[in-house]
Amino acid sequence: MHQIDAQSLIDPTALSKSAVAVVARLCENNHSAFIVGGAVRDLLLGKRPKDFDVATDATPEQIVALFRGARIIGRRFQIVHVRMGREIIEVTTFRGHHGGDTSKIAAKSNKGLLLRDNVYGTLDQDAARRDLTINALYLDPLQHLILDDLNGIEDIKKRTIRIIGDPAGRYREDPVRMLRVARFAAKLGFSVDPATQEAIGECRHLLADIPSARLFDEAIKLFMSGHAAETFEQLRRHDLLETLFPEAVDALDLEGAQELITQAMKNTDGRIARDKPVTPAFLFAALLWPAVALRSDEIVRAGNADGSPVNAAGQEILARSLQRVSIPKRFSIPMREIWELQPRLDKCSPKRAKSILALRRFRAAFDLLLLRRDQDEELSGAVKFWEEQQQLFPEIVGSQPPTEIPKKRRRPRRRKPEQ
Ligand code: ATP
Ligand code: MG
């Protein structure tokens, strides 16, 4: 194992005391234990880690026996959550090789994977099955050492995203890794190693087999982590956006479409940077708006619009998008409301103004109108009209914050990689 002195590389005060305590307790009981993954990477980059994960050779049962407030979660991949004060440290047992022909593993769905996946392994094996070199660093916070067998530190210095092992084989094991490459390239501002990038060409079609619920989780990580605009660029660069939102890609040639989407993403990133609440409903509504507008035009041209063509288009685009990314109703309903309000906002009817202002989605719909106006000056009149109406009747609009925090499940399910 390649050992590196961590003293000069990592600020010890940035370490989570709870994570260090968990490692210490495991070590006192003759286990080996390390802080792993994103936390070590972020510490080396001088960033504050989101959370601290620990990997150990202790089994879930052995871990639970050592900590009060520890709970085993997950069926396919047993993880232990150790509660330390307000923090929860996720502790996993080293995972081993699943062996065999990886293409066969990917072709099969769950049952075959299930058994192979909970195979415990050594630290070396655990490192090799991680996705990126920069995510396969093991920090021993007691001896201040970093174990770096896969040259993660060098890749951090070179600012390179590199898949561990043969990229195509690793993508076949778990195609979501391609999205992770784009996500980390965007989040960290790193470049993607050529071999890691090239294999995406032959593997991106495999994302079609990933369950839409997992793709939704991934889409949230891609677009709601504060780097949506750059992630959008990365996804476009690697032709990965079409694996998630083919409808959005089909409409990108529409004049102003890319600019509108990029601006929506920048706004979301800005709000996250300022700790303001954001909702995926608005972001996905903007992402798919050009597709809705395009479809709505087609419906109008075909002359078969019974009710509102935007409503019909919105329903269609949403239905098609849900086949790939299962956006839950608590977001998709507001998305449709935001779309359906656009033609009503365009009309500027003084008679209807008050009732429209009072609608729950008025502020979000107005935000989308602002983005549309930036691409289409003809909408300036409508923006002015609604600005005046809001000033005239602030008490009506004031009842609803511009964008609200989505209702979160108390205990978010974690979907673990299919490998
Ligand atoms: P973030 O700061 O975004 O949470 P992270 O590196 O902690 O980044 P997670 O998604 O929390 O990312 O995953 C934790 C660790 O698990 C990763 O660092 C990586 O080593 C491993 N991992 C996660 N997903 C996969 C995957 N699909 N294939 C292989 N290893 C994975
Ligand atoms: Mg993490």
**CA-CA distance, 347 to 379, in Å (whole number)?**
10
- 136: in domain: yes
Residue 395 has what pLDDT?
84
User: What's the Cα-to-Cα distance from 369 to each of 158, 346, 384, 388, rounded to whole Å?
Assistant: 42, 8, 11, 15
Same-domain check for residues 148 and 169: no
CA of 38 to the centre of ligand 2 (A): 5
Ligand 1 centre to CA of 113 (Å) is 19
**pLDDT for the residue 132:** 98
Determine the pLDDT at residue 409: 46
Mean pLDDT of the chain: 90
Encoded amino acid at 402, one letter:
P
pLDDT of residue 100: 42
pTM of the model as a whole: 0.89
Q: Tens digit of pLDDT for each residue in 338-358?
A: 999 999 999 999 999 999 999
In this structure, the answer to whether residues 172 and 311 fall within a common structural domain is no
**What is the pLDDT confidence band of residue 306, given thresholds at 50, 70 and 90?**
confident
Q: Ligand 1, closest atom to CA 41?
A: 6
User: Has 11 been annotated as catalytic?
Assistant: no
Instruction: Find how far residue 361's CA is from the centre of its chain.
Output: 24
Q: Is 251 inside any structural domain?
A: no
254, part of any domain: no
pLDDT-wise least confident of 91-95, 203-207, 303-307: 303-307
Per-residue model confidence as pLDDT tens digits over 66-124: 999 899 998 767 899 999 988 999 999 999 875 543 333 333 343 333 334 567 899 99
User: Does residue 207 share a domain with residue 136?
Assistant: no
Per-residue CA distances from 254 to 251, 272, 293, 305, 407 (Å): 6, 28, 9, 22, 33
Q: Which residues surround ligand 2, an ion (CB under 5 A)?
A: 38
Q: For residue range 22-39, list pLDDT tens digits in order.
A: 999 999 999 999 999 999
Q: Are residues 100 and 182 in the same domain?
A: no
Range with the lowest mean pLDDT among 1-15, 90-104, 264-278? 90-104
Q: Summarize the confidence of residues 394-406 as an average pLDDT.
A: 60
Are 147 and 16 within one domain? yes
What is the reported pLDDT for 305?
Answer: 65
**Which residues does residue 92 pair with via DSSP β-bridges, in sequence order?**
55
41 Cα to the center of ligand 2, angstroms: 10
pLDDT for 98:
59
pLDDT tier, 153 (very low <50, low <70, confident <90, very high otherwise): very high
State the pLDDT at residue 307: 84
297 is catalytic: no
* Cα–Cα distance for residue pair 21/406, rounded to 1 Å: 34
Boundary of a domain, candidates 111, 128, 158:
158
C-alpha to C-alpha distance for 292 and 317, rounded to whole angstroms: 6
Residues whose CB falls within 8 Å of the CB of residue 345, separated by 6 or more in sequence, listed in order: 356, 365, 366, 369, 382, 386
Report the CATH number that the domain containing residue 63 is assigned in CATH. 3.30.460.10
Which residue minimizes the CA distance to atom 30 of ligand 1? 130
Dig out the tokens for 213 from the structure. 């619920």
Rounded to the nearest angstrom, the distance between the alpha carbon of 162 and the centre of ligand 1 is 14
If asked whether residues 264 and 328 sit together in one domain, one would say yes
Which of 135, 148, 210, 413 for a ligand 1 pocket mutation test, highest count of atoms within 8 Å of Cβ? 135
Q: Residue 53 Cα, ligand 2 centroid: separation in angstroms?
A: 7
Query: How far, in Å, CA of 138 to CA of 323, rounded?
Result: 39
418 within some domain: no
Atom 17 of ligand 1, residue of closest alpha carbon: 37
Q: Is 185 helix (H, G, I), strand (E, B) or coil?
A: helix
Same-domain status, 38 and 153: yes
Nearest CA to 260 out of 294, 298, 300 is that of 294
CATH number at residue 219: 1.10.110.30
Probe ligand 1: pick from 44, 48, 130, 415, max atoms within 8 Å of CB?
A: 130
Active-site entry in 131, 148, 155, 193: 131
Q: Is residue 106 included in any domain, yes or no?
A: yes
Do 119 and 221 lie in one domain? The reply is no
- Catalytic residue list contains 53: yes
Residue whose CA is closest, atom 24 of ligand 1?
417
Q: In the chain, what percentage of residues exceed pLDDT 90?
A: 80
Residues 170 and 147 placed together within one structural domain of the fold: no
Q: How many domains does the chain have?
A: 3
182 occurs within a structural domain? yes
**411: in domain:** no
Question: Which CATH number fits the domain that encloses residue 293?
Answer: 1.10.3090.10
Confidence class for position 397, pLDDT limits 50, 70, 90? confident
How many Cβ atoms are within 10 Å of 409's Cβ, its own excluded? 8
Which amino acids bring their CB within 6 angstroms of ligand 1? Answer: 37-38, 50, 53, 130-131, 135-136, 174, 176-177, 180, 417, 419
The answer to whether residues 320 and 211 belong to one domain is: no
pLDDT > 90? residue 175: yes
Given pLDDT bands bounded at 50, 70 and 90, which one contains residue 303? confident
The per-residue pLDDT for 399 is 54
- Whether residue 404 lies inside any domain: the answer is no
Is 62 in the same domain as 88? yes
- 229 lies in which domain range? 161-244
Domain check: are 100 and 151 in the same one? yes
